[in-house]
Amino acid sequence: MLKKDVKANKPMKVVIIGNNVAGTFTAQNLRFLNEEIEIEIYTQEAYPYYTRINLPEVISGKKLIQDLIVFDEDWYKTKDLKLFLGHKAEHINLENKTVHFSNKNKSINYDKLILALGSTPNIPPINKAVEMKNNKQGVFTLRNIDDALEIKNFIASIPNEKAIVIGGGLLGLELANQIKDTKLKTTVVEFFPRLLPRQLDEECGKMLKDEIERRGIEVVLNATTQEILGNGKVAGIKLKDGRQFDAGIVLIQAGINPTIDLAKNAGIKTNKGIVINEYLETSETDVYAVGDCIEYNNQIYGIIPACMEQSKIIAATIIGAKTKEYDGTIPKNTLKIMGLDLTSIGIINPVEGEGGSWDILKKADVKDCCYQKIILKDNKLKGAILFGEKKAVSYVYKKMEEDVNKDELRKLLDLYIYRCEKCGDLYDEAKMGIAFEDLPNDYKCPNCGASKEYFRKKID
């Protein structure tokens, strides 16, 4: 199956640019499928594969750099993977099949080239944001170890100041939580009317906001940041509606942009990301792309599960066994803040008129800060929000896109039907959205006016 350079009888040489989740797992999968291929991995960073998940904890001092390293350099040696750190690829020559690294003044050749270039933080159009970030005047984004160390050092130089995090998505909140632990008074400003706009509905977004504020982080919604204030040093931000907030540091965590320039300059088809087909092939022969840098069916992903799925398919494609096709990745997100369990998966706000029969099982228990919403379409599990309760998480992960048994789901979510003993009227927690226990004490049966005590849990 393995293609060889027939003239020289040499094994195929695969070059991977990028050494994080996508590049590393592609290399590992390739090696698993074939022991002969020559695999070289190049990265501009100075570290072997590390996880970005814990970068915010490097800032708060809870983790050290070595805690983040997933595979050390010995791991690469045992897998016979050649790793080249500190190599920034500047130019791809598709005709000669070479990649040039200007900072090392060297060019290498490849038989197959895999672009695992990842993404960089998006900076919204905010006056002076890019300029003050580049001039190191107190504006930061967080993507890699160097960013985390820079932010940590900067915070040490501004004790007792305030911090602003622009972006109330997952990374923004996780970052804000760690910044708050450095003792800076922290404010999150979010453009949308709720936190985690892509992962939550309005009701759960409100519960999360209350919980985040209870933890001592101020949250400002509907906030379009217009300008970074300060001359030569950050002094705060100004919103479009005129409100101003003081701060000694501003951190922008507002989405990602796939890294495409290297591919684009070589003539490889790009749009928002590097455009690939279901086999992770780009528009050019023998060039493939994987991970955060890709765009598939007009979609970019930016999550680890997508990188992992794609890295299996690309490895099979490269060795010529096109057995599997990529079909996109269901968004799966968990907020990683200690003591705050929140998972959002798949479709969470079904669009009216999309066809099929949608069914929502929902329970909001404001007192215990717990919200569970399960979305079904034609009895298939399509999505879920699970906040404050972990019991159903593994079930939901396992059963996505499968037919489900609603009674089983009700039990798992502690969703009950209560019957009024006077008139037989039913209160279905799944339909009403509010836990029966949470109803006010003066709740009356809407049918016969009986008080709350007349209701009994219906056991089927």
Residues that bind ligand FAD in the complex, under the rule CB under 6 A:
17-23, 42-45, 52-53, 55-56, 87-89, 116-119, 142-143, 171, 259, 262, 291-292, 302-305, 307, 336
**Closest CB to ligand FAD among 307 and 376?**
307
**Closest CB to ligand FAD among 313 and 417?**
313
Rg of the chain taking only CA atoms, in angstroms = 26
* Minimum CB–partner distance for residue 100 and ligand FAD (Å): 10
Instruction: Tell me how crowded residue 285 is: count the other CB atoms within 10 A of its CB.
Output: 9
- The residue written with tokens 């708050």 in the block is 180
Pick the closest to residue 175 from 362, 380, 336, 393 (CA basis).
336
Which residues lie below 8 Å from residue 117, measured CB to CB, with a gap of 6+? 17, 18, 258, 259, 260, 262, 263, 274, 289, 291, 292, 293
**Closest CB to ligand FAD among 32 and 244?**
32
* Minimum CB–partner distance for residue 292 and ligand FAD (Å): 4
The dihedrals phi and psi of 333, each to the nearest 5 degrees, come to: -140, 140
- Inter-residue contact 319 to 146 (CB < 8 Å): no
**Closest CB to ligand FAD among 45 and 111?**
45
Alpha carbon separation from 223 to 125, 160, 236, 298 (Å, rounded): 13, 24, 14, 28
**Closest CB to ligand FAD among 236 and 331?**
331
* Minimum CB–partner distance for residue 217 and ligand FAD (Å): 17
- Inter-residue contact 422 to 448 (CB < 8 Å): yes
* Minimum CB–partner distance for residue 447 and ligand FAD (Å): 47
Q: Distance between CA 109 and CA 452 in Å, rounded?
A: 76
For CA atoms 152, 154, 160, 162, give the dihedral sign: negative
Chain Cα centroid distance, residue 41: 24
**Closest CB to ligand FAD among 346 and 350?**
346
Q: Residue ranges of the alpha helices (H) in 304-425?
A: 304-318, 393-399, 406-412
**Closest CB to ligand FAD among 70 and 448?**
70
**Closest CB to ligand FAD among 138 and 291?**
291
**Closest CB to ligand FAD among 198 and 457?**
198
Q: Distance between CA 140 and CA 422 in Å, rounded?
A: 63
Assigned token pair, 312? 């299996």
* Minimum CB–partner distance for residue 422 and ligand FAD (Å): 50
Alpha carbon separation from 5 to 11, 35, 316, 451 (Å, rounded): 6, 16, 19, 83
* Minimum CB–partner distance for residue 256 and ligand FAD (Å): 8
* Minimum CB–partner distance for residue 189 and ligand FAD (Å): 18
* Minimum CB–partner distance for residue 170 and ligand FAD (Å): 7
* Minimum CB–partner distance for residue 71 and ligand FAD (Å): 13
**Closest CB to ligand FAD among 89 and 316?**
89
Pick the closest to residue 179 from 191, 190, 166, 192 (CA basis).
166
* Minimum CB–partner distance for residue 287 and ligand FAD (Å): 14
**Closest CB to ligand FAD among 89 and 430?**
89
- Inter-residue contact 426 to 418 (CB < 8 Å): yes
Q: Distance between CA 20 and CA 74 in Å, rounded?
A: 16
- Residues pairing with 383 in the sheet: 346, 375
* Minimum CB–partner distance for residue 167 and ligand FAD (Å): 12
- Residues pairing with 289 in the sheet: 115
* Minimum CB–partner distance for residue 197 and ligand FAD (Å): 17
Residue nearest to ligand FAD (CB): 118
- Inter-residue contact 55 to 29 (CB < 8 Å): no
The two most distant CA atoms of the chain are separated, in Å, by 89
**Closest CB to ligand FAD among 259 and 270?**
259
| Packed helices 304-318 and 21-33: angle between N→C axes, nearest 10 degrees | 40
First to last CA, the chain: 58
